[in-house]
Structure 1
Amino acid sequence: MRKIHALLLCSLLILSACTPVFDNKQKVVKETKDESSNQSAILPSYSAADDNYKMILSKDTPTTSAARGLTTNQMGNRLDISEFESGLRRHSQEYFSPDKYYFQPGQYLDYDTLIEWLSRHEPDDPKTEDKDESNEGLNPELNMKNPTEQDYRKHPKYISNIVEQDYLVKKDNVVKINGITIGISLRSEYHFSVDGKEYTEKHSRSELISKGKKYAGEILKRLRKQKELEDVPIVFAIYQEETASSKVPGNFLSKSYVKGSDMTVKDWEPIKENYVLFPSDEAEENHFDDSQLFSEFRNEVSDYFPNFVGMIANGFYVDDELHQVKINIPIQFNSNSEVVGFTQYVYSLVNEMFEDHYDVEVNIYSMDQQESLIVKKAGESDAYVHIYE
């Protein structure tokens, strides 16, 4: 008998409303830049999932990044916005275990600082010998009154965004910074205009890796100038953005771990991750078996509901192995019973057709809202189903 867990979930919610609330948090002291102004903070006892970090909560300090809003403004593809930050946490787990470390949105690089770093490099003033390296733009200098197309192509803007994530540890009753991850996002395409005409300069993977490593070295020098970060381990990760119209996010290219007090970034580790759109020529060419499975699944769905609007999926590959697939099915329903019946049918297809060594997520939605969710985790033979009321 097929299992629909929505009712079970509702029952649990009702029961929880009648259950006493137990103390699931711990009060601690959080170190700040000025030790004389250390603040109180709360450490939650649980995370949302086993592989998630517990986030430090404090009424005295924000639970948002000091550069809040920067990522949304700097990255044109909403899929990149999500993958860049969540992917950084995923890669940080290799160095900062969620069992030991607590997460805090970046507090050491504020919005104004990062905006200046993401600008073009300003030429030195020949009238003065003063030089403030910490406030120079990282993108190539373009010191011309009327730059030509070739000038822009020779000096494109590579780096579009920098994200800082902080990782803290607790000793006795005090939490302090003990790790930082810096994500460097680079453009796969640079768009510019000259005399009213639009142009595009494309960047290769090898070119972006080379530039990203150079930026990481400069950023490390600037971070080490902050007293509280002199001896903190820092992870750097280079990310390649997709184009604004892409239906899949970009991917991480390389990462490196810098020990506390080290002043150079070395021993870069290549990252072989890729998001693939189904259906697509890339999927057909590079992942033929998975592409065929998606086509068969699509055909089975259309047999049940011939007038469905369409279906796409994003497959996430690591070292050419499929780790996760997210499927979106948009359909216009006429009644709740149609939603239930269609969800049950898709649920049975997920259990029967997809293997259990990767995660499967199916989102079924109508024109204006999500109707149901089906999730099958790797290693599990049965999927979870939730139908929204």
Structure 2
Amino acid sequence: MKFSVKRWFQGAVGLASLLALAACGNLQNADLSGTETTASSNKSASYQITGSTDGTQYSALLANGKYKVSTSRGLTVDQNSNTFNTSSFEAGLTTISKSNFSPEKYAFQEGQHISRTTANSWLKRESANNEAGLNPKDNGSTDPDKRAPIYLQEILEQDYLQRTNNSYQTAGVAIGLGLNEIDYYQKVQYGATFKTTISQAEREKQGKAMAVKILARLRKKKELADVTIVFGLYKQAANDSLVGGTYFATAVSKSGTTISEWKTLNQENGVLPVVNNQKAVNDGDADSFGNFKTKIQAFFPNLSGVTAQTHYENGTLQGMKIKISTQFFGVNEIQSFTQYVDTAAKRYLPANIPIEITISSVEGMQSFLSRESGDKDFYTHVFSSY
């Protein structure tokens, strides 16, 4: 079966956007080189794309042989410490973008139109010294139910480019708005942490209003005046969540500064086995994972833990990532265990969905297994000790 090591490492090391997008889609007239004179410089830049596969992932655009990183990528309001949010925030926006910018026709580049300084000012509260702030003015209250919370936690820009002759031009932009489910705050510096819980209705209201403001600001840029701009509203998972957040709404602006229609997204992430007496998103999937977990622990009892992250859209399981922690150190033991996990996974885990399984010890990753959607067999790899 076909397998992208880069795509697998997206989940393993958390570089969700960079590694997934370095995999390549087929572009029309996909000549690997070209030149373009930028609007801000008279210098001619050499461009190329990273290659081509089956068109399910984007080709990344390289400028002068280098991958261009957004200066504002990863900038957040320093409140939420859930690292799972970062990967699901980026990967989810890429998935939304595919519905509007086909990987067969567009190349990907990290956001170049919203500078770090601009993003930082937008993430701050509106004030006399920061009129561009998208978060509300501080009303002076420290009461959890009366204060004006921080709604917007993070902004993400992704650019999608098309080739014209020997140059690449921005033809589309995707903007992700990471919105808090819980706003963590301190009444005094270095003091105890308190929290304000934000309702879904208020989060959605605030997010949609912010999207309209951002749209108007982006349209003032000459290069973005007429391109398609896509917005995704993302609910940040709480600090103690064992999974990342999910997108709950998206909208598309073909032109102008108004958004006429929003589409509701029904996404949910879960953890198996469930903790704190929570209910599984789907009992059948939970039972399948439970049987798999029981089987491998019975045959190889020297395991530290077996957990899974699940992702659902419209109530249907879309993917599963399983982490197995071991106390194995012998090469033959690791190889035997990987073979057994392969057999058990095919027998007990849900069929026809992408599944990634990592097997690790305190010394690092030992092996992994991966199956693409629709495939029956798993690709397996055991890391050597040399």
Tell me the TM-score normalized by structure 2: 0.85
Residue of structure 1 in register with 2:241 after alignment:
246
Aligned residues: 353
Q: 1:138 aligns with which of 131, 134, 138?
A: 134
Report SS of the residue matched to 2:341.
helix
2:163 is the alignment partner of 1:170: yes
Residue of structure 1 in register with 2:52 after alignment:
46
> Structure 2: how far apart are the matches of 1:373 and 1:61?
30
Residue 286 (structure 1) shift: 3.4
Residue of structure 2 in register with 1:194 after alignment:
187
Residue 381 (structure 1) shift: 1.4
> Structure 1: how far apart are the matches of 2:309 and 2:67?
34
> Which residue identity does 2:262 align to in structure 1?
W
2:68 is the alignment partner of 1:63: yes
Report SS of the residue matched to 1:310.
strand
> Structure 1: how far apart are the matches of 2:78 and 2:126?
20
Q: 2:313 aligns with which of 308, 318, 335?
A: 318
Report SS of the residue matched to 2:38.
coil
2:106 is the alignment partner of 1:81: no
> Structure 2: how far apart are the matches of 1:148 and 1:207?
19
> Structure 1: how far apart are the matches of 2:367 and 2:75?
33
Residue of structure 2 in register with 1:26 after alignment:
32
Task: Please give the root-mean-square deviation of Cα atoms over the aligned residues, in Å.
Answer: 2.3
2:265 is the alignment partner of 1:271: yes
Structure 2 CA distance for partners of 1:187 and 1:89, relative to 1, 3 Å? same
Q: Which runs of 5+ in 2 are unaligned?
A: 6-29
> Structure 2: how far apart are the matches of 1:327 and 1:306?
17
Residue 62 (structure 1) shift: 5.7
2:247 is the alignment partner of 1:235: no
Residue 386 (structure 1) shift: 0.5
Report SS of the residue matched to 1:349.
helix
Please say which of residues 283-292 and 99-108 is displaced more in the overlay.
283-292
Tell me the TM-score normalized by structure 1: 0.85
Residue 61 (structure 1) shift: 7.5
Preserved CA contact (<8 Å) 2:338 2:367: yes
Preserved CA contact (<8 Å) 1:71 1:81: no
> Which residue identity does 1:194 align to in structure 2?
K
Please say which of residues 54-63 and 209-218 is displaced more in the overlay.
54-63
Q: 1:215 aligns with which of 210, 222, 244?
A: 210
Q: Which runs of 5+ in 1 are unaligned?
A: 1-5, 7-23, 125-131
Residue 363 (structure 1) shift: 0.7
Instruction: Summarize deviations over 1:272-292 as a string: whole Å, max 9, x none.
Output: 111110111687443111111
Preserved CA contact (<8 Å) 2:49 2:62: yes
> Which residue identity does 1:161 align to in structure 2?
E
Instruction: Summarize deviations over 1:176-232 as a string: whole Å, max 9, x none.
Output: 010000000011111112254432101122221111100000001111111111111
Q: 1:361 aligns with which of 348, 352, 356?
A: 356
